[in-house]
Chain A
């Protein structure tokens, strides 16, 4: 049996990049270029932008709707 530290040591770069991919999404405030308004970008754990919404509440709700946990970045 491999202990947790050993498991972490064996984590490949790809494994690390995909960590949390199915479980966590990040919300980041952005400025929408078209009108200069405030928006919120949703990113997957590997950095891929998934969506842009105009309200933080909606960004969180959209993430929860997809059975993931929202994490806000400031």
Chain B
């Protein structure tokens, strides 16, 4: 599982403006709708439903919201760097400013888990997160997400 299988430069949102978790999820759903051609509302609902079962704010300013949809054809990621950190009800209660959203087909099974594992290991790396926070172009962020993937080796 490579990060290149999940995102393209179009999947990267720079300086996302949101004041709440819901608003951030809405913005992510909007971008994912543009990429997949699915309804924004359907994507938002599935993300929100998952958050109700337990927050995907994994700590250290990172969140990995995700969900499964029948209509989505392949694994689809959207990465957003927020302009200002927001409350995401994260497990460490720290505000979140880096969000990697993942949508998977209903049938994805193990691939869904592998992709989540890949993303969570990538964003657990403090050096990578510090760089992501410092970068101010979509190209630089995309290259790091991809480059870090190659350096990560798994």
Residues of A within 8 A of B (CB): 55-58, 60-62, 64-65, 69-70, 72
Contacts and interface: CB of A to CB of B under 8 A. Distances in A.
B53 A65 contact: no
Given A58-B120, A61-B66, A70 B54 contact: yes
A-B CB proximity, top 8 nearest? A55-B120, A57-B58, A60-B54, A61-B116, A58-B117, A57-B120, A61-B113, A57-B64
B26 interface: no
Interface in B91-132: 91, 109, 112-113, 116-117, 120, 124
Contacts of A57: 56, 58, 64, 116, 120
A64 B53 contact: yes
B96 to A, nearest CB: 13
A60 B91 CA distance: 13
A37 B54 CA distance: 22
Contacts of B113: 58, 61-62, 65
A70 B112 CA distance: 17
A65 B112 contact: yes
A61 B54 CA distance: 10
Q: How large is the interface on B (under 10, 10 to 19, 20 to 34, 35 or more residues)?
A: 10 to 19
A51 to B, nearest CB: 11
A55 B117 contact: yes
A61 B50 CA distance: 9
Interface of A is mostly: helix
A69 B53 contact: yes
Contacts of B116: 57-58, 61
Nearest to A57: B58
A55, A57, A60, A69, most chain B CB atoms within 10 A:
A57
Given A57-B120, A72-B54, 10 more contacts: A55-B58, A56-B91, A57-B58, A58-B116, A58-B117, A61-B112, A61-B113, A64-B53, A65-B112, A70-B53
Given A58-B117, A58-B120, A65 B54 contact: no
Contacts of A72: 54
Contacts of B120: 55, 57-58
